[in-house]
Amino acid sequence: MVLTDTHTHQYYETDPEKLAALMERCKSNRVGRLFLPNVDADSVGKVFGLAAAYPGICYPMLGLHPCSVKEGWEQELADIKQAINQGKIYAIGEIGIDLYWDKTTLTEQIRAFKGQINWAKELRLPIVIHCREAFDEVFSVLEEERDENLRGIFHCFTGNLEQAQKVIGLGFYLGIGGVVTYKNSGLDKVVAQINPEHIVLETDSPYLTPVPFRGKPNESSYLVYVAEKVADLHQTSVENIADITTQNSRVIFGA
């Protein structure tokens, strides 16, 4: 059994001993593949560094997080685009729109989002979408940009069944993380109605820690608890969910 964490910021841990322990716990929990999204220009080196330290386990993705679309964002975006030449990447992400923290930058967020979608199309790469309180805005952009080269993952999907079906209709995967384990989230009821062929698993470490560790920092090794919950919802084995979702990740990332 191999579990794939399609979205983790495990590179935030910079203490070598603590990082080694995190990676060892991944191994113990059969989490053998970690996809690393950066969030800004400063995190590019950390993403590439962890991927270089754990080849065949950690895979880099590059993009400008919508919350990083602030003053000077165009130069930062240019720096990230230049960094794509530093090594192989597997997706453009995480990118998208976030209206939870700042609604005043919507126009700029859309410009950054569309620009990076075009990078992905040119490079024949998937996109990994951050969408917070902005489903309609994100979906509108995706419909405008829709063509045979547009594909990817809705990271940290927490929407309703109708929204899930719209995402699937675009040919995107739903990124399911720790929220599915939360008692009152309602996400469990949605995931129970979605064929696992349309989902991938993630932690978004160090955020959104699943039960039974909710309230503590998340880590990729905890992906097993997300997999157990999804398996329970579909009345199947963790091994089966691991096989399906890992295969989905191979399809979307090509690795």
Distances (CA, A) of 135 to 26, 46, 187, 245: 32, 30, 15, 24
CATH 3.20.20.140 fits 3-253, yes or no: yes
Strands 31-37 and 199-201, bridge-based pairing: unpaired
Pair 180, 230: CB distance under 8 Å: yes
Alpha-carbon distance values, 119 to 58, 116, 146, 186, 200 (Å): 22, 5, 14, 35, 23
Q: Residue 183's pLDDT is what?
A: 93
Domain chopping of the chain, boundaries: 3-253
User: Dihedral of CA 66/43/120/33: which sign?
Assistant: negative
- As a whole number of angstroms, the distance between CA 181 and CA 224 comes to 11
Q: How far is CA 1 from CA 30, 54, 252, in A?
A: 7, 19, 19
3-state secondary structure of 153: strand
Distances (CA, A) of 126 to 15, 79, 92, 232: 31, 20, 6, 29
pLDDT of 155 reads 98
DSSP string over 96-135: EEETTT-STTHHHHHHHHHHHHHHHHHHT--EEEEEES-H
Each residue's pLDDT tens digit, 99-149: 999 999 999 999 999 999 999 999 999 999 999 999 999 999 999 999 999
pTM of the model: 0.98
Rounded distance between C-alpha atoms, residue 233 and residue 228, angstroms: 9
Give average pLDDT by consecutive 10-residue segment, the chain, 255 residues.
Answer: 98 96 98 97 96 97 97 95 95 97 95 98 98 97 97 98 97 98 97 98 98 97 98 98 98 97
- The DSSP code sequence of 172-223 is PEEEE-GGGGSTTSSHHHHHTTS-GGGEEE---TTSSPPTTSTTS---GGGH
